[in-house]
Amino acid sequence: MSNKLIDIIEIIESRPGMYIGTQSITEFWGFINGYFYVNHLNNTYDENERELLHNFSEWIKSNNLFYLKKTDFGWYSLLKLIYPNEQRALEAFFELWNEFKLSY
């Protein structure tokens, strides 16, 4: 599994403070949304990348708390709900993302 989005996530994981300023799931979410927006503006938008994050959201729901299975929440909202601490939510994102990549 390789694409630009995955590469960017791996780069940010190595030094989140350098790329997003603080170790915050909200800052990371903003960065990822900015990435999609710039791709849209430059006509380089890749629907497969958006689908990958959607599949990640579904994977989180299916592998975590039962009450999350029936929500329409995306990965950001799910992680904010499960981990109210910004830094812990970002750490959990990377942990879950790495698990997800192995199964995807």
Domain layout of the chain by residue ranges: 4-103
Residue 47 makes CB contacts below 8 A (sequence gap 6+) with: none
The predicted pLDDT at position 65 comes to 60
Q: What is the pLDDT of residues 28-63, one digit of tens each?
A: 999 999 999 999 999 988 889 999 999 999 898 888
The predicted pLDDT at position 1 comes to 45
The predicted pLDDT at position 66 comes to 54
Whole-prediction pTM: 0.88
Average pLDDT over residues 88-100: 96
Average pLDDT over residues 80-101: 94
